[in-house]
Structure 1
Amino acid sequence: MIHLPRLTGTRRRCLAVALLTVLSTAATFPGAVDRAKTAPHWTGTWEAAASGTAPALPGTSIRNIVHISVGGSAARVRLSNRLGTAPLRLGTVTVAVQRAHETGSAEAAPGSLRTATFDGATSVTVPPGRDRVSDAVRLAVPPDANLVVTVYTPGDCGPATYHRTSLQPGFLARNGNHATDPTGAAYTDRVSHWYYVTGVDVLRRAAPHSVVALGDSLTDGTGSSLGTNHRWPDLLSRRLRRLPAERRPGVLNAGVSGNRLLRDEVGPSALSRLDADVFSRTGVRTLIVLEGVNDLKGIPPETDPGAFVRAYRRIVARAHAHDIRVIGATLTPFGGHSAWTPAREGLRHAINALIRSGVFDAVADFDAAVRDPARPDRIRPAYDSGDHLHFDDAGMTALAGAVDPTGLGG
């Protein structure tokens, strides 16, 4: 028998009022719980990890074209001065949907251009080493669309944080503030980088759920066709279209060309950038890790398979602390590349055997998906971009196909 404490008259009256309130609410709003399940939530739809710096562009409007995965009823953008050395002053930031039939232009779709605010202000200063996320921008954002994110930098704020390899043309207007121009007439210069913009979230009627692909140039898309969004995370997002809209996750690409698992070389190592490029992102529930090839072929190369496994286990442990499931991708062949040696091939096999043995929550066997059956140390010729390391569009499709979509849907 359970003995409840005796309640005073005041406590009894309070308990009675509370019970009546609960019963009344349930009777008056019988669908409240169901509506809460479908209430709008923010989730990540696009990412570009900061990979370095470029010279500042004072007095310039920079029009970044970004390809999102899932859509929503509003958007917000992440601006980064993470690698800068001075406060970053942005005079105007705008967001628009790119004109659908002008995918290679700087033109916004009619009626879609919006000015982003930051705590209600139309300009923002981002301290060095920091990011800022905009207020909600009311804009109907279609899934699988290109967004036009424009920033105007009125002065020289020192080195500009950027993502070096966009594989997508961006545009510059060097003669002042054209951030609110719906046309692309002023944007006469092209660039192949994303400046300052490192993320986009959307507001959607679904539980927050995004997938982050953490990797190097193989994930960054090197070898795929320019302007086509054929990086394997983009192609994975296309595969996930078959899911119901409310279950389809956003797919975020945290690939950085030259990135290593264990050492800070071309930017921070994978271990060093988990907070910035994975855990700070919105609604992350799954992490896919393809890291280690640059450690095999780098200078100096890593030779201890145990070091790889210890790093993978650290990533898994940290991700689990954030309730994130981790899929490990096996390391792909690079026979025929100038950095290949028999010893490194043996180490790759040893690492892949350990990955397949249960280091991660699940495995995406990229090695099996792309290796040449006749020469397993090499990529299939039909998937090889030409350097025996990176993948063409068909190879990127094979990588995307190696990820089991089961469990990716929210």
Structure 2
Amino acid sequence: MRRGTIPYLLTALAAALALALVPPPASAATSGRHHGTGRQGWTGTWEAAASATTTQLPGQSVRNVVHTSVGGRAARIRVSNRLGTTPLELGAVTVAVQKADAPKSPAAVAGTVRRVTFGGAASAEVPAGEDAVSDPVPLRVPSDANLLVTLYTPHDSGPATYHRSALQTSFIAPDGDRTADDDGTAYSATTSSWYYLTGVDVLGAPAVGSVVALGDSITDGSGSTASANHRWPDRLAARLRALPPRERLGVLNAGIAGNRVLLDGTGPSALSRLDADVLSRSGVRAVIVMEGINDIKGNPNQTDPAAFAAAYRQIVAHAHARGIRVVGGTITPYGGNGGWTAAREAVRQSVNDLVRHGGIFDAVADFDATVRDPDAPDRILPAYDSGDHLHFDDAGLQAMADGIDLHSLTAERPRPTGGPADAA
């Protein structure tokens, strides 16, 4: 008998009984609509945007460590082969709660390991260029806690879709299917990336939906303490958890280090990934757009503020078509960084003026005003500078989260229009 068969049979029996009370999963194409969210449906609790591909891990199990923003009575996961070139074969997938007293360990809380199924099957094949959403998994998911989502890939499925800069230690077991293990001893290697996994949703969250942070490395958390969940979206989640459930939101981090608004490069551009990373997510009520610095200082760099305005308007129109509010984030200073020039600073100031006063967004998060040095407004306040004059330390990221008006995220949403075509 295969290792773990009896525990899996018992788990499957318990799951079958519990799932009788859980509604079927929505498709990836429709699960992001805001109707029936929070305690009445699915809410996004965690996200990582697919940023690139890397070498696959055939015959190994990767245990992704992810941090929840809100909890619920069941979970489902999103697996991506979006950037792959051949079908992704998943031999087994599990989800569990990580031991709270061992935040840098692959060990699970005993009794929480659950097998994840797709269409009732324990194994799955995800076509190239596509995502897959799992069946509901009966598991009491705590808020502000780490989950272990473990995937076993028995064969080489070609380039692996992943999120490169996780700023979180995850684990690899090199000797086959160890997805059911709860003690973690087989996980002898580590990785600082998230493999295949791009989202976790929870059912019945004490919240009214979720907010997506769409951005670049600043949103991705570059400069923050690793494995500490000190990115500004994490700090925003902590603020939201202090609110009553009728005002609370899950937080989804769709930041990609190096990402740009207008051009593909490090990951698809904000425009081209809007549907996959924002609009199709579960229970989205609002999105905070904080992107543009890599367009300004990149190669080729963008010099026309009107191009940013057009892109922002397109993002807003597509979001409004789904009844989603859009908060515009001003671009933060980077004076002293090697990519800074006076001409590029002029573009940044012009784009920020559009964000603040152009009437494009439903609300504004003025990150620039929050973190700039009043004595040198083109630079980050020294107490917030991680050292490269571009990214923020933990204090700076906390300040960014503190500067967001929480009411702007839960105010009445735009009336849905006929669809994204209205953006033309």
With the length of structure 2 as denominator, give the TM-score of the two structures.
0.87
| CA 1:237–1:84: 2 relative to 1, 3 Å | same
| Structure 1 residue 244 displacement after superposition | 1.2
* Superposition deviation, residue 206 in structure 1: 5.1
Give the Cα separation in 1 of the matches to 2:104 and 2:218.
24
Give the superposition deviation at 1:38: 8.4
2:275 alignment counterpart: 275
Query: Offset of 1:193 from its aligned partner?
Result: 0.3
Letter in 1 for 2:345: E
Question: What code does the residue aligned with 1:160 have?
Answer: A
Deviation, 1:37, is: 9.9
Measured after TM superposition, the shift of residue 407 of structure 1 is 4.0
Unaligned runs of 5+ in 2: 1-35, 412-424
1:115 Cα offset (Å): 0.4
SS at match of 2:182: coil
Residue 233 of structure 2 corresponds to which residue in structure 1? 233
Matches for 1:3-402 after TM superposition, within 5 Å: 40-204=40-204, 209-357=209-357, 358-402=359-403
Unaligned runs of 5+ in 1: 1-35
Q: Distance in 2 between matches of 1:395 and 1:61?
A: 36
2-side partners of 1:245 and 1:309: how far apart?
Answer: 35
Question: How far apart are the structure 1 equivalents of 2:99 and 2:376?
Answer: 45
Structure 1 segments of 4+ aligned residues over 2 angstroms from their partners: 36-40, 205-208, 407-410
Paired with 1:302 and 1:199, the residues of 2 have a C-alpha distance of 31
CA, structure 1 residues 37+287, in 2 after alignment: closer, same or farther (shift >3 Å)? closer
**Cα drift, residue 77 of structure 1:** 0.3
The one-letter code matched in structure 1 to 2:115 is: T
- In structure 1, how many angstroms separate the alpha carbons of the residues matched to 2:207 and 2:235? 22
CA 49–39 in structure 1, closer or farther in 2 if over 3 Å, else same: closer
Deviation, structure 1 residue 246: 4.5
Q: Select between 136-145 and 204-213 the one with higher mean Cα deviation.
A: 204-213
Tell me by how many angstroms 1:300 deviates: 1.2
Letter in 2 for 1:226: A
Determine helix, strand or coil for the equivalent of 1:408: helix
Q: Whole-Å Cα distance in 1 between the matches of residues 38 and 372 of structure 2?
A: 43
For the Cα contact (< 8 Å) 1:41–1:206, is it kept in 2?
no
1:40 offset after TM fit, Å?
Answer: 3.2
Aligned partner of 1:403 in structure 2 is 404
Matches of 2:98 and 2:334 in 1, distance apart? 37
Structure having the higher Rg: 1
CA distance in 2, matches of 1:259, 1:146: 26
In structure 2, distance between residues paired with 1:353 and 1:169 = 39
Name the CA shift for 1:94/1:317 in 2 (closer, same or farther; >3 Å). Answer: same
1:134 CA drift (Å):
0.6
Tell me the CA shift for residue 154 of structure 1.
Answer: 0.4
Partners of 2:39 and 2:320 in 1: CA distance = 26
Percent sequence identity over aligned pairs: 62
Q: C-alpha deviations, 1:240-286, integer Å up to 9, x for none? A: 12211353111000000000111111121111110110111011110
Q: Residue 338 of structure 1 aligns to a residue in which SS?
A: coil
Does structure 1 retain, via aligned residues, the 8 Å contact 2:219–2:253? yes
CA gap 1:297/1:109 in 2 versus in 1, 3 angstroms: same
The 3 A distance-change label for structure 1 pair 372 and 39 is closer
Which piece of structure 1 moves more, 399-408 or 288-297?
399-408
AA partner of residue 227 (structure 1): S
Q: Which amino acid aligns with 2:386?
A: S
Do the aligned partners of 1:70 and 1:144 also contact (CA within 8 Å) in 2?
yes
Aligned residues: 375
In the TM superposition, what whole-angstrom CA distance separates every residue of 1:51-91 from its partner, at most 9, and x where no partner exists? 00110110000000000100000000001100111111111
Letter in 2 for 1:195: Y
Equivalent-residue separation in structure 2 for 1:371 and 1:214 (angstroms): 21
Structure 2 distance, partners of 1:387, 1:38, is 40
- Deviations 1:133-168 (CA, angstroms, capped at 9, x unpaired): 111100001111100000000000000000000100
3-state SS of 2:352 partner = helix
1:41 and 1:207 in contact (8 A); partners too: no
Counterpart AA for 1:379: I
Aligned mates of 1:299, 1:145 — CA distance in 2: 39
Partners of 1:247 and 1:79 lie apart in 2 by: 29
Distance change in 2, residues 1:363/1:349 (3 Å): same
Distance (whole Å) between structure 1 residues aligned to residue 383 and residue 44 of structure 2:
33
Amino acid across the alignment from 1:41: G
Distance 1:39 1:385, change over 3 A: closer
- Find the residue that maps to 2:247 and give its secondary structure: coil
1:347 is displaced (CA, Å) by 1.2
Moved more, 237-246 or 319-328: 237-246
The residue type equivalent to 2:73 in the other structure is S
Preserved contact between residue 61 and residue 179 of structure 1 (Cα < 8 Å): yes
- What's the CA shift string for 1:16-40, capped at 9, x where partnerless? xxxxxxxxxxxxxxxxxxxx99863
